[in-house]
Amino acid sequence: MSAPGEVPLIRLRGVTKVYGEGALAFQALKGVNLDIAQGDFVAIMGPSGSGKSTAMNTLGCLDRPTTGEYLFKGVHVESLSRDERARLRRRYFGFVFQGFNLLARTSAQENVELPLLYRGESAAVRHAAAARALAAVGLKGWEHHTPAELSGGQQQRVAIARAIVTEPDVLLADEPTGNLDTQRSHEIMELLWHLNADQGITVLMVTHEPDMAQYARRIVRFVDGVVDSDAPNPSPAGLRSGTADAPVAPAPAHAGGA
């Protein structure tokens, strides 16, 4: 939530989203108003069909509102073309999903480099940036391992490294712990907390797990296509856990090989 007088990074005003036409039309969003400040960590919750995933797709410029305004850094996103929204995504947004979406026969390093490859960056720039991103998520020494050689938690760390390698302003995480056990889930949430607290990345996370939502600074609940509640979290779990570094997976003895 933005401070009084502060221009929010993201602003939704009267946003609706309708799928289909006529008798088959379904209104997923019904006039959503939402402000998100730079550096916020927001958990978006709600039951199935509440509109939370549609809101996330809208916020990530993956879909365009049917009506209403979406301003990002003061730019009216709802009026942009498909190509303009794609350029906005590549420049400012990183995405993490419940499924890790890694290329199975490709190393962690190469998976993380993909967004930079699409940007046309040189091999030297890609290699250096991917190495930094993997180190930031605690996977230094695992660069040459394929997804099959990594645990679920490590695969999600690779996916997060891929999302932050472009140094985005906003990280959108859709059920990022949905495929992980409890311990690995908390490790990933600690990592997201540190990316927010230490690097200032704005984190928007959809989750149905209350204990994961407790890592956020703010919890927004959707019901029937509208924001039902929007409240600060007075004691985020990441803050309660102290200022220690995020858990780091030990590098294998054969880290230099695949």
Domains, the chain, with CATH or none: 10-240 (3.40.50.300)
Q: Indicate the pLDDT class of residue 224, thresholds 50, 70 and 90.
A: very high
pTM score, whole prediction: 0.88
Is the CB of residue 163 less than 8 Å from the CB of residue 192? no
The per-residue pLDDT for 1 is 59
The pLDDT of residue 152 is 94
Looking up tokens 């209350």 gives 210
Confidence of residue 5 (pLDDT cuts 50, 70, 90): low
- Asked which of 65-74, 76-85, 240-249 is least confident by mean pLDDT, the reply is 240-249
Strands (E), the chain: 10-19, 26-36, 41-45, 67-72, 75-76, 93-97, 170-174, 202-206, 218-223, 226-232
pLDDT of residue 249: 41
How far is 258 from 93, CA to CA, in rounded Å?
30
Q: In this predicted model, which residue has the larger pLDDT, 94 or 249?
A: 94
Q: What pLDDT score was predicted for residue 255?
A: 37
Distance CA 18, CA 25 (A): 7
Average pLDDT of the residues in 177-202 = 94
pLDDT for residue 2 is more than 90: no
Average the pLDDT over each of 22-36, 76-90, 203-217, 241-255 and give the range with the smallest value.
241-255
